Amino acid sequence: MLIYKLFLTVLVAELTSAAFHFQNGLSMKCIRTIDPNSKQNHHVLITGGQVTIDGTLICTPVDSTLPPMDHLMGLYHELEGMIEDMNTEGYQPVEKVIRPKTTTVTKTITTDQKTTTHTTTTSRGLDDEADAFDDDYYQCELCKAKIDFFQNLVALSETTLNLDAFSGCAVTSDSDEELGDQSSTMLFQKESNLEQHSPQNLTREEANEFAAMLVSNDMLPFLTDDDHLNQRLAYSLVLMNTGHNHDAILELDSLIKNHPNLNGAYHARGAAYTRKNHKDLIIADLALRDFNRAIELDRQNPLGWEQRGELHLLLGRPKSALSDISKALDLRPSAKLHMLRGGLLLKERKFTHAMNDFFNSLRRKVDQPAAFHLLGVSFFHQGKLHEAATAIRQAITMNPECLDCLQNLGQVYKDIGDYKTSLDVLNQALEVDWNDMLTHYLRGLLYLETGLVDDALADFTICSRLQPIGNGCERMVSVCLLLKGQFYDAVKTATRVMVFNSDNLDEYDRAMYIKELSRYFHSRLDVPVYELDPDRDFGAKFKDGWVRDLHFPVDGYVEQPGIMPDTSDVDHLGFYEYMPDIQDLICRGVAYGRLAEHTTDGFLANDRQSLANGLAAIEVAQTVKDYWKNPRTYRNQAGKRLSWKELFGIAIKWTRACNPDKPILWLDLMPEMCHQNQCDSFKYQIMLLHGQTFNIRYENYVGPVLNATKKLLNQFLLESSEAQDRLAFNLDGINDLDVILNIMRKLKDVGRGFTIGSRISSHRKMAEKLEGVSFEVKEDRPGELMFSMTSYTSKERTEHYHAEMDSVWSLLAEEMQNSKKSTPRDGKFELVGDLILTLVYYFYNLMPVSDGPSSIAYSVAIGLFIATGREITGSIPKGKIVELEAMLSSKPSAFTSTIKQWMSLQKSHTNLSSLPSVAEHFSTLRLMLEVLNVNATNCKY
């Protein structure tokens, strides 16, 4: 059972304070009453659970009103315990039924007087399904939250919550006709047998009979000593709950006129106004006045706060709604109120607080699929994907037809990197509703990210037919066509997207990039691939917009030549259409490429990318083997000498062919974009934490990166202080970023955040240091910190790294040339292996390309080892990421020692000279795309 850092952090209710914990479990909060403008040296003291700077109390122990530490650490245990108890008790999920588009429901109402049957027919839409739950005095339907899978709003997670989709318990429909039946409170103390009638079927006699039943069964929430008043109030509630809102308001007007302090009448009339038409601001204001008056008459009654909170929510006032619902919870906690507040907090991106509310709701009433679902969504947005899967799976166990739950769970498993489970879940969602556009979109993304382009194209095509405009499906069709080399259809589809999305700039611009890229690659399908040079062929504004995902640079842009009819698109070849020696080459490529795959959570295996990486490794090996025979006279197909940059260019070439839609460009060839004397250089950034969200890919590295950051800060504070005032204190014992940022604000006036750079050792000049990666802690917005690692691109930094890599490359060539054979003897291999990994080490720290640097560098390393007569037999360990190992190593030797252990290098049994030449057989983009489109499942490797 996994307990994550999520449960090691307490967020206090006052959002202006920051809570943190020391390793000994002491909970602290920082009081932001410090002067950030002070420039003097400071004395920091930690004693008795308090942080004091220059005698000013900065941090103090959290008061006892906060949840205890062991309570928070046990939350996930409790979640699993709830699920285990439900399974043990034999909880029966709702029966799984494939529901038609129209549903007929017959309801029978039985009272002491008579039995009434009422039949309704409803149309089923995407958001009609709701999970109902009760509390002490009324029922409410919860609108389900969705994950928005169409945008990358947060760099940490490829998906984010569509926070506007959660509108709370007060309403489940936007149509005026349905609001009268579904919005606001029913105002009954107990669950009654009263069902809703259509207006034409309800008689006054029936209404009075139901009213008498409410009073006699003690179901009226505001009983008085006057039986006549009780009957009239109950009668008005019956009218309201059967759709006769206008008549109910008239009845309540009369009651209030004669009894101005009748609290229940204000509650009921406010609810009736809300149901009548809350979108009419005049009517909504009348409802608000009634709820205000109800609260004024009895401030200790939670119903008034709750009703007003729901109205605020309907009116788009989430902060006011949150305040009122919180007050209602203080007065009388309930499962429903915790659910409602949890949804509001979810919408406000207060994921930890929302999670606590969903837990509290489940403690009061465990039989709530919606609570488990939204709890899973809360976990998801904190990067806790395994916990999210546990919670959402329980929601599905309780309600197998919950389409939103299935879609979200499929996305969770995709983000974990579990292709098979994600596919199974999404297929289950399609069994519930084959015609759901979103499920096809999600399955298309899953296929695409695993390299199954044909399957992805099929799903995106269905998706685009179900909803042609504005959903991204048709644009994804054009992306798949581009990857397959079907450029003519890609241009047609992208143009259609542009025509029908002229008012949607994001869709329009992305389609424009696809259209231009399709034209570009089509015009160069049959030229030698070394002439394909996007770094120099595209203009500065195009490259800048493509890399940064900006609006398409229309001004001054010259379009690529149109599709030429005499140039055919790429043919689709089967595996067995290739000669046996090429089949063997393909299979070896897949096998070598899989060595570069990460098995860490957050990575999906992609056989198309593996084939590209493997063929790149073989081409690197064949090329460098020829080069080492005579480095002085060697020239490649383009007539150039082989530099390390040309060698890495082979892997870049294959990565571009595999992903022609992605901007894989050399950053040192990118333009420097300046505006008002401010120049913005390009950077490669790894986001570890954003707000409350951890990136699951890098979760195992948050601790090491934080330790490296604190070490650099300690050194900086020591070097920048006067000798007599140097701190008798370091940051080693503090593991909370907010605390570290507060201390740095006090000591060094860092404002919203700070960036501190690392230094790494030079191999060329042992006494020199190179600028390594930078660690950044920044308050992105109030209450949300951003923690990242960044490799900045500057002319000076790039020149230093190029000189370093030139030196290592020359030494490697010299060692290989000095060998009597092109394969070094065992005694020399350790040095050769270290030089290969040192070259890769500097590439990782420079991060010189805009996308895909990890697989590019590792493919080159595989190829170089093959050329030296060695093969990698070990995989990258689970939970490990090669580039982060390089970035966190202060010198090459530390990195090379670690990676060699992973690789388990053995003597190679592959005869390179017996393999077909990759460069000759795949000499054009057409030939490269044909082989990458091959289904390599027939390989036995």
Task: Output the pLDDT for position 682.
Answer: 83
The tally of CA atoms less than 13 A away on the side-chain side of residue 606 is 24
Task: Output the pLDDT for position 780.
Answer: 83
Q: Mean pLDDT throughout 771-782?
A: 90
Task: Output the pLDDT for position 821.
Answer: 55
Side chain identity at 33, as an amino acid letter?
Answer: T
CA–CA separation, 564 vs 144, rounded Å?
A: 50
Look up tokens 């060839």; give the residue. Answer: 669
Nearest to residue 382, comparing CAs of 349, 356, 360? 349
Inter-residue contact 741 to 34 (CB < 8 Å)? no
Nearest to residue 703, comparing CAs of 750, 737, 674? 737
Nearest to residue 708, comparing CAs of 609, 615, 597, 789? 789
Task: Output the pLDDT for position 107.
Answer: 29
Distances (CA, A) of 234 to 139, 258, 719, 775: 17, 16, 77, 65
Q: If you compute the radius of gyration of the chain from its CA atoms, what whole number of angstroms results?
A: 33
Largest alpha-carbon pair distance within the chain? 111
Task: Output the pLDDT for position 938.
Answer: 81
Percent of the chain scored above 70 by pLDDT?
76
Side chain identity at 156, as an amino acid letter?
Answer: L
Least confident of 170-179, 581-590, 827-836, 899-908: 170-179
Confidence category of residue 142, pLDDT binned at 50, 70, 90: very low
Task: Output the pLDDT for position 373.
Answer: 95
CA–CA separation, 234 vs 215, rounded Å?
A: 7
For the stretch 479-527, pLDDT in tens is 999 999 999 999 999 999 999 888 888 899 999 999 999 999 999 999 9
**Rounded to 5 degrees, what are φ and ψ at 824?**
-70, 150
The 8-class DSSP code of residue 262 comes to -
Task: Output the pLDDT for position 940.
Answer: 73
Element (H, E) at 112: none
For the stretch 367-399, pLDDT in tens is 999 999 999 999 999 889 999 999 999 999 999
**Rounded to 5 degrees, what are φ and ψ at 520?**
-60, -50
Is a pLDDT exceeding 80 seen at residue 642? yes
Inter-residue contact 85 to 51 (CB < 8 Å)? no
Nearest to residue 744, comparing CAs of 770, 709, 772, 774? 709
Element (H, E) at 754: strand 753-761
Q: Mean pLDDT throughout 326-336?
A: 95
Side chain identity at 276, as an amino acid letter?
Answer: K
Axis-axis angle for helices 925-932, 607-629 (nearest 10): 130
Q: Three-state secondary structure along 602-650?
A: CCCCCHHHHHHHHHHHHHHHHHHHHHHHCCCCCCCCCCCCCCHHHHHHH
Q: List, as one string, the DSSP characters of 60-94.
A: EEPPTTSPPHHHHHTHHHHHHHHHHHHHHTT--PP
Distances (CA, A) of 4 to 60, 392, 702: 25, 18, 12
| Runs of H (alpha helix) within 197-317 | 204-216, 227-241, 245-258, 263-277, 281-297, 302-314
Q: Which two tokens stand for residue 735?
A: 């593991």
Look up tokens 């060329």; give the residue. Answer: 764
Element (H, E) at 917: none
- The two beta strands, 18-21 and 784-792, are unpaired
Task: Output the pLDDT for position 88.
Answer: 59
For the stretch 444-465, pLDDT in tens is 999 999 999 999 999 999 999 9
Virtual torsion, Cα 183, 189, 190, 193, nearest 10 deg: -60
Confidence category of residue 826, pLDDT binned at 50, 70, 90: low
Task: Output the pLDDT for position 824.
Answer: 60
Nearest to residue 657, comparing CAs of 700, 619, 605? 619
Element (H, E) at 260: none
Task: Work out the mean pLDDT of the chain and round it to a whole number.
Answer: 79
Task: Output the pLDDT for position 612.
Answer: 97
Inter-residue contact 338 to 363 (CB < 8 Å)? no
**Rounded to 5 degrees, what are φ and ψ at 66?**
-80, 155
- Name the burial class of residue 482, with classes exposed (0-12), middle (13-18) and buried (19+) by CB atoms within 10 angstroms of its CB: buried
Task: Output the pLDDT for position 768.
Answer: 92
For the stretch 1-37, pLDDT in tens is 222 222 222 222 222 233 333 333 333 444 433 343 4
Residue 136 falls in which region: left (phi positive, over 0), alpha (psi -120 to 50) or beta: alpha
Task: Output the pLDDT for position 748.
Answer: 80
Task: Output the pLDDT for position 182.
Answer: 29
Is a pLDDT exceeding 70 seen at residue 86? no
Is a pLDDT exceeding 90 seen at residue 169? no
Contacts of residue 513, defined as CB under 8 A and 6 or more positions apart, other chains included, come to 545, 546, 552, 661
CA–CA separation, 736 vs 777, rounded Å?
A: 11
Instruction: Using the Cα atoms of residue 35, residue 40, residue 46 and residue 48 in order, give the sign of their dihedral.
Output: negative
For the stretch 884-912, pLDDT in tens is 999 999 999 999 999 999 999 998 888 88
Task: Output the pLDDT for position 132.
Answer: 29
For the stretch 228-281, pLDDT in tens is 999 999 999 888 888 889 999 999 999 999 999 999 999 999 999 999 888 898
Inter-residue contact 439 to 407 (CB < 8 Å)? yes
Task: Output the pLDDT for position 62.
Answer: 39
Confidence category of residue 781, pLDDT binned at 50, 70, 90: confident
Task: Output the pLDDT for position 397.
Answer: 94
Percent of the chain scored above 90 by pLDDT?
54
Q: Which two tokens stand for residue 940?
A: 């036995």
Task: Output the pLDDT for position 90.
Answer: 54
Which pTM was predicted?
0.80
Task: Output the pLDDT for position 153.
Answer: 19
Task: Output the pLDDT for position 35.
Answer: 44
Q: List, as one string, the DSSP characters of 308-370.
A: HHHHHHHTT-HHHHHHHHHHHHHHS--HHHHHHHHHHHHHTT-HHHHHHHHHHHHHH----HH
Task: Output the pLDDT for position 514.
Answer: 96
Task: Output the pLDDT for position 203.
Answer: 81
For the stretch 675-711, pLDDT in tens is 555 556 788 899 998 887 888 999 899 999 999 999 9
| Runs of H (alpha helix) within 630-701 | 644-658
Task: Output the pLDDT for position 89.
Answer: 58
Is a pLDDT exceeding 60 seen at residue 177? no
Is a pLDDT exceeding 50 seen at residue 101? no
Look up tokens 């005049």; give the residue. Answer: 282
Is a pLDDT exceeding 50 seen at residue 104? no
Confidence category of residue 206, pLDDT binned at 50, 70, 90: confident
Inter-residue contact 738 to 30 (CB < 8 Å)? yes
Task: Output the pLDDT for position 1.
Answer: 26
For the stretch 851-876, pLDDT in tens is 888 899 999 999 999 999 998 999 99
Task: Output the pLDDT for position 140.
Answer: 28
The tally of CA atoms less than 13 A away on the side-chain side of residue 936 is 29
Task: Output the pLDDT for position 75.
Answer: 59
Element (H, E) at 398: helix 385-398
